[in-house]
Amino acid sequence: MTSEEKKIFAGELFCPGDSELKAIKRRTHNLNLDYNKTYEDETEKRREILSEILGEFGEGSFIQGPIAFHYGIHTKIGKYFFGNFNLTIQDDAEVTIGDHCNFGPNVTIVTPIHPMLPDERNLMLDADGNPKRFCYAKPVHVGNNCWFGANVVVCPGVTIGDNCVIGAGSVVTRDVPPNSFAAGNPCRVIREITEKDSMKYKPEILADNRVIE
């Protein structure tokens, strides 16, 4: 881990233009392009590329592509994950996604935060008095069995609990407790998900299929 990466994970200001960080990002961005040039049936090639990009990628997981990972190695994805078109993860800080999660098209997860004041956003001084551009980052954690609708954006520092459904177009700015249906901009909890949400109570949709008891 580089010295600037240590600052990222400590929640401190870091310089995204640091040469070692840029080398990590350049490698990952190039691998993104390699992945996005593959055909959907080139499953072994795709998985090989993802194994080079990601910190972890669980058994049975699949990403439709195109993809856009920033560091890649800071992202850990569990088993049986499905990511639809245009998955973007700006993983300056750590991003973890649990098992059996499903993401709709255009889901974005971001971790970096820039200073609010424009002068500070442009330049500050490091410990040696050198002018540099800085930002900081907060991790994002997604539990198991979560479903995100299309165009969901998850902001820095958010934790989403197990078994949550996040409605399409939501901008998630704060934590979502387990077993919640949440939606909106900013995203808020609409209600708890319960057994009454079972498809067995929707016979007109269930048709001649059955739920597993």
Cα 114 to chain centroid distance, Å, stands at 18
Which residue, 92, 87, 88, is CA-closest to 73?
A: 92
pLDDT at 7 over 90: yes
User: Is the pTM above the cut of 0.75?
Assistant: yes
Q: For residue 211, is it within any domain?
A: no
β-bridge mates for residue 15, sequence order: none
pLDDT grade, residue 213 (50/70/90)?
Answer: confident
Q: How many domains does the chain fold into?
A: 1
pLDDT at 31 over 90: yes
pLDDT at 2 over 90: no
> One-letter amino acid identity for 132?
K
CATH of the domain at 54: 2.160.10.10
Q: What is the mean pLDDT of residues 77-104?
A: 98
> One-letter amino acid identity for 184?
G
Which residue, 79, 84, 137, is CA-closest to 113?
A: 137
Kindly report, residue by residue over 159-197, the tens digit of the pLDDT: 999 999 999 999 999 999 999 999 999 999 999 999 999
pLDDT grade, residue 1 (50/70/90)?
Answer: confident
> One-letter amino acid identity for 147?
W
Q: What is the mean pLDDT of residues 70-79?
A: 98
pLDDT grade, residue 112 (50/70/90)?
Answer: very high
Domain span at residue 138?
3-206
Q: What is the mean pLDDT of residues 84-108?
A: 98
- With b meaning 16 or more CB within 10 Å and e meaning fewer, what string describes 140-164? bbbbbbbbbbbbbbbbbbbbbbbbb
Active site residues: 114
CA distances in angstroms from 196 to 45, 48, 117, 208, listed in the order given: 42, 41, 48, 19
β-bridge mates for residue 63, sequence order: 83
CA geometry: angle at 72 spanning 176 and 138, to 5°?
40
Q: For residue 187, is it within any domain?
A: yes
What value does the mean pLDDT of the chain take? 97
